């Protein structure tokens, strides 16, 4: 039923009309002639009619006031204001990835007096949205509508973290690494993998990389050690975190080691453990150049395991003096990726019993040349001003050579070394891979697999910036493992969301997604004494993200459940 305007002989008339169906056709039927428009408006009859109807449609009135920002102070006697975006979105993914089911299975025989699963989910959501310590998580929780978290306090989060890192019994330690024991979090990883494993699940290729995480405190009984700090904080104790992902970029497992563990000693124990934990019979390991050593390569070959390992082009004598000088022509390869086409040139070089693939990316070669030219121009300008500040700058120092001004007693000066410039140009856009000699891997396959290792690097950028694991204040190894493992679970949920968005053809920026999710709130107000829940319109990409994830948003206005 609605009001319709019709002009007759120069005057506008208003009619109350309804739509009716006659047979297969619909038509409009006049219920009442309200009169000439100017007369009706002057008498206030239309307003009285609308007010009378609105008494029986409270939600329409509230929606109109909400949209116009005209809710009175009395009406805004808020019973509660909560952020709902992250709990709705990632809470559903928590269920659908099997995380909730795995936790319920493992906790059914434990006698905790609080919901450990809810405490872990809350920590994971906190890690996704803002991160920080468990103390900060307790305060953050008050602003979010996470179901069934009533009564959770700081000591509950501490207990949950300690449970995640709790050591398993002696009989379950057969496949532990030399660096750390098997814990509850390992069993969770294995059950999560089993949840999504089917006939088409492929772990024939795995990617691995490591990073270091510094501690504010001592870092537990064994994890906190001084070592090479990728955080640029050598003054702090740290631990080493390794992550393994599959060919689709989904996190498989994480490994945690003392902070003085060398990267070259990590690869083999983790690879051996993959066989035992996930039943992998044959695997191709893709790892960065920091993992490579003669002992590692020999051990991989003794195990007949395929591998694609990056090589240090500048420091490896065979690569620098033999492989890069090989006269064989490059084969052009055009690689189609989601970000566009990449022009790559590759060739295979065999030196004695060693197999190498040399790759050259033209776009990166151009960038390397331009970057070097910019450094040289700045260096030339600095040389004209003076030399004292040059040696302390590593970007400048690599292109300089010392030259004598006159005799040996004069003060040494510096000049640009043309030979070093020419030598550096050999490495523009070049990366070299080493393969198992017997592996049935083509140069193109090797190049593609190694380029996919960028997924692991993105994983760690997420863990250390967007999903910051720090600060870590826990004093026990078990609680530290649990704290860090929550970041791993956060990455599982983020990857699931990313996969669903890609399938739907959208690529939202992660920071924009977090900001828009934080804006999605619900307010409970009193309307004529009854509580009503209001949800303002979504902003940014939230609507499309929820649609891609297959999650329906709640209604804008609905009565509160008692």
pLDDT of residue 267: 81
Q: Assess whether 74 and 16 both reside in one domain.
A: no
Q: Which helix (H) or strand (E) holds 170?
A: none
Does 294 have pLDDT greater than 60?
Answer: yes
Q: Assess whether 395 and 428 both reside in one domain.
A: yes
* Interval 61-65 mean pLDDT: 54
Distance separating the N- and C-terminal Cα atoms of the chain: 33
Does 162 have pLDDT greater than 90?
Answer: yes
Does 340 have pLDDT greater than 60?
Answer: no
Q: Assess whether 436 and 526 both reside in one domain.
A: no
* Interval 116-143 mean pLDDT: 87
Among 441, 468, 500, residue at a domain's last position: 441
Q: Is residue 473 part of a domain?
A: no
How many other CB atoms sit within 10 Å of the CB of residue 256?
24
Which residues, in sequence order, are bridge partners of residue 21?
A: 26
Contacts of 197 (CB under 8 A, 6+ apart): none
pLDDT of residue 203: 60
> What pTM, to 2 d.p., does this model score?
0.72
Q: Assess whether 17 and 65 both reside in one domain.
A: no
Q: pLDDT tens-digit profile of 254-288?
A: 899 998 888 778 888 888 888 788 876 666 777 77
Q: Assess whether 418 and 537 both reside in one domain.
A: no
Q: Is residue 12 part of a domain?
A: yes
Q: Is residue 4 part of a domain?
A: yes
pLDDT of residue 338: 52
Q: pLDDT tens-digit profile of 395-452?
A: 566 677 776 554 444 444 777 777 777 778 888 888 888 887 777 777 777 877 777 6
Q: Helix count (H) and strand count (E) of the chain? A: 20, 18
Q: Assess whether 328 and 373 both reside in one domain.
A: yes
Burial status of residue 562 (CB atoms within 10 A of its CB: 0-12, 13-18, 19 or more): exposed
For the packed helices 116-129 and 510-519, what is the interaxial angle rounded to 10 degrees? 120
* Interval 381-387 mean pLDDT: 69
pLDDT of residue 160: 94
Torsion of CA 270, 273, 275, 276, to 10 degrees: -170
The residue ranking higher by pLDDT, 352 or 402, is 352
Among 415, 441, 467, residue at a domain's last position: 441
Q: Is residue 92 part of a domain?
A: no
Report the relative pairing of strands 284-287 and 205-214 from DSSP bridges. Answer: parallel
* Interval 79-90 mean pLDDT: 85
Please state, in angstroms and as integers, the Cα–Cα distance from residue 420 to each residue in 320, 346, 347, 555, following that order.
Answer: 14, 25, 25, 66
pLDDT band at 117 (very low <50, low <70, confident <90, very high): very high
pLDDT band at 134 (very low <50, low <70, confident <90, very high): confident
- 88, 148, 139, 138: which is closest to 117 by C-alpha? 148
Cis previous bond, 471, omega within 30: yes
Does 68 have pLDDT greater than 80?
Answer: no
Q: Is residue 248 part of a domain?
A: no
* Interval 184-210 mean pLDDT: 78
Q: Is residue 28 part of a domain?
A: yes
Q: Which two tokens stand for residue 261?
A: 């563990």
pLDDT band at 363 (very low <50, low <70, confident <90, very high): confident
Q: Of the ranges 35-49, 318-332, 477-491, which one carries the lowest mean pLDDT score?
A: 35-49
Q: Is residue 160 part of a domain?
A: no
Q: Assess whether 73 and 52 both reside in one domain.
A: no
* Interval 83-103 mean pLDDT: 93
Which residues, in sequence order, are bridge partners of residue 285?
A: 206, 307
Please report where in the chains the tokens 């997924």 appear, as a residue.
455
Q: What is the mean pLDDT of the chain?
A: 79
Please report where in the chains the tokens 């593609």 appear, as a residue.
448
Q: What span, in angstroms and rounded, lies between the C-alpha atoms of 40 and 47?
A: 9
Work out how many domains the chain is built from and give that number: 3
The percentage of the chain sitting over the pLDDT mark of 70, rounded to a whole number, equals: 80
Domain that holds residue 551: 58-81+520-562
Please report where in the chains the tokens 């969770």 appear, as a residue.
188
pLDDT band at 72 (very low <50, low <70, confident <90, very high): low
Q: Is residue 294 part of a domain?
A: no
Please report where in the chains the tokens 């920080």 appear, as a residue.
132
Does 328 have pLDDT greater than 60?
Answer: yes
Q: What span, in angstroms and rounded, lies between the C-alpha atoms of 252 and 206?
A: 9
Among 441, 460, 476, residue at a domain's last position: 441
Does 170 have pLDDT greater than 80?
Answer: yes
Q: Assess whether 404 and 345 both reside in one domain.
A: yes
Q: Assess whether 331 and 402 both reside in one domain.
A: yes
Q: Assess whether 407 and 316 both reside in one domain.
A: yes
pLDDT of residue 409: 46
Q: Assess whether 430 and 532 both reside in one domain.
A: no
pLDDT of residue 562: 47
Contacts of 422 (CB under 8 A, 6+ apart): none
pLDDT band at 121 (very low <50, low <70, confident <90, very high): very high
How many other CB atoms sit within 10 Å of the CB of residue 63?
14
pLDDT of residue 51: 59
pLDDT of residue 103: 95
Please report where in the chains the tokens 């956060």 appear, as a residue.
490
Q: pLDDT tens-digit profile of 503-550?
A: 998 888 888 899 899 888 888 877 666 777 888 777 788 889 999 999
The residue ranking higher by pLDDT, 458 or 220, is 220
> Alpha helices, DSSP H only, in 165-319?
184-196, 267-278, 294-302, 317-318
* Residues 166 and 183: beta-carbon distance below 8 Å: yes
pLDDT of residue 410: 41
* Residues 218 and 472: beta-carbon distance below 8 Å: no
Does 317 have pLDDT greater than 60?
Answer: yes
pLDDT band at 163 (very low <50, low <70, confident <90, very high): very high
Q: Assess whether 38 and 63 both reside in one domain.
A: no
* Residues 524 and 533: beta-carbon distance below 8 Å: yes
Does 45 have pLDDT greater than 70?
Answer: yes
- 474, 516, 548: which is closest to 163 by C-alpha? 474
- 540, 514, 521: which is closest to 130 by C-alpha? 514
The residue ranking higher by pLDDT, 100 or 363, is 100
């Amino acid at each position: 039923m609605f009001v319709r305007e019709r002009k007759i002989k120069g005057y506008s008339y208003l009619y109350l009309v309804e739509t009716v169906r006659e047979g297969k056709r619909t038509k409009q039927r006049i219920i009442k002639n309200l009169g000439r428009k100017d007369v009706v408006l002057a008498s206030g009859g239309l307003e009285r009619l609308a007010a009378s109807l609105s008494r029986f449609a409270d939600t329409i009135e509230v929606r109109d006031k909400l949209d116009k920002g005209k809710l009175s102070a009395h009406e805004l006697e808020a019973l509660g204001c909560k952020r709902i975006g992250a709990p709705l979105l990632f809470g559903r993914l928590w269920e659908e990835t099997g995380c909730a089911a795995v936790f319920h299975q493992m906790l059914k025989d434990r006698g905790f007096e609080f919901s450990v699963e809810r405490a872990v989910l809350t920590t994971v959501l906190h890690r996704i949205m803002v991160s920080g310590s468990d103390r900060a998580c307790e305060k953050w929780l008050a602003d979010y509508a996470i179901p069934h978290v009533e009564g959770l306090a700081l000591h509950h989060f501490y207990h949950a973290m300690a449970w995640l890192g709790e050591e398993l019994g002696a009989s379950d330690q057969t496949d532990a690494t030399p660096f750390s024991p098997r814990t509850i979090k390992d069993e969770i990883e294995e059950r999560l993998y089993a949840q999504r494993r089917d006939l088409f699940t492929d772990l024939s290729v795995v990617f691995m990389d490591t990073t270091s995480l510094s501690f504010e405190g001592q870092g537990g009984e064994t994890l906190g050690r001084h070592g090479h700090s990728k955080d640029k904080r050598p003054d702090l104790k740290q631990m080493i975190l390794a992550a393994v992902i599959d060919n689709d970029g989904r996190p498989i497992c994480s490994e945690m080691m003392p902070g003085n563990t060398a990267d070259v000693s990590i690869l083999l124990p983790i690879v051996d453990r993959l066989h035992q934990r996930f039943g992998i019979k044959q695997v191709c390991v893709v790892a960065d150049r920091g993992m490579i050593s003669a002992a590692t390569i020999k051990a991989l070959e003794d195990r007949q395991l395929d591998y694609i390992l990056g090589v240090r082009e500048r420091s490896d004598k065979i690569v620098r003096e033999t492989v890069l000088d090989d006269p064989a022509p490059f084969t052009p390869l055009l690689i189609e990726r989601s970000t566009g086409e990449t022009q790559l040139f590759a060739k295979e070089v065999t030196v004695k019993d060693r197999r190498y693939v040399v790759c050259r990316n033209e776009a990166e070669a151009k960038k390397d040349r331009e970057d070097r030219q910019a450094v040289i121009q700045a260096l030339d300008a600095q040389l004209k001003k003076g030399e004292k500040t040059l040696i302390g700058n590593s970007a400048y120092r690599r292109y300089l050579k010392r030259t004598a001004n006159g005799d040996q007693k004069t003060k040494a000066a510096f000049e640009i070394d043309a030979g070093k410039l020419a030598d550096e140009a050999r490495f523009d856009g070049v990366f070299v891979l080493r393969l198992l000699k017997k592996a049935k891997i083509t140069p193109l396959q090797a190049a593609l697999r190694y380029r996919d290792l960028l997924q692991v690097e993105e994983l760690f950028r997420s863990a250390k910036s967007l999903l910051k694991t720090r600060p870590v204040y826990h004093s026990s190894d078990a609680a530290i493992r649990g704290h860090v493992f929550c970041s791993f679970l956060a990455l599982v949920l983020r990857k699931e969301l990313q996969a669903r968005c890609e399938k739907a053809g959208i690529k939202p920026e992660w920071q924009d997604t977090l900001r828009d999710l934080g804006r999605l709130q619900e307010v409970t107000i009193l309307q004529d004494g009854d509580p009503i829940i209001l949800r303002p319109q979504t902003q940014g990409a939230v609507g499309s993200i929820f649609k891609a994830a297959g999650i329906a948003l709640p209604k804008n206005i609905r009565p509160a459940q008692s």
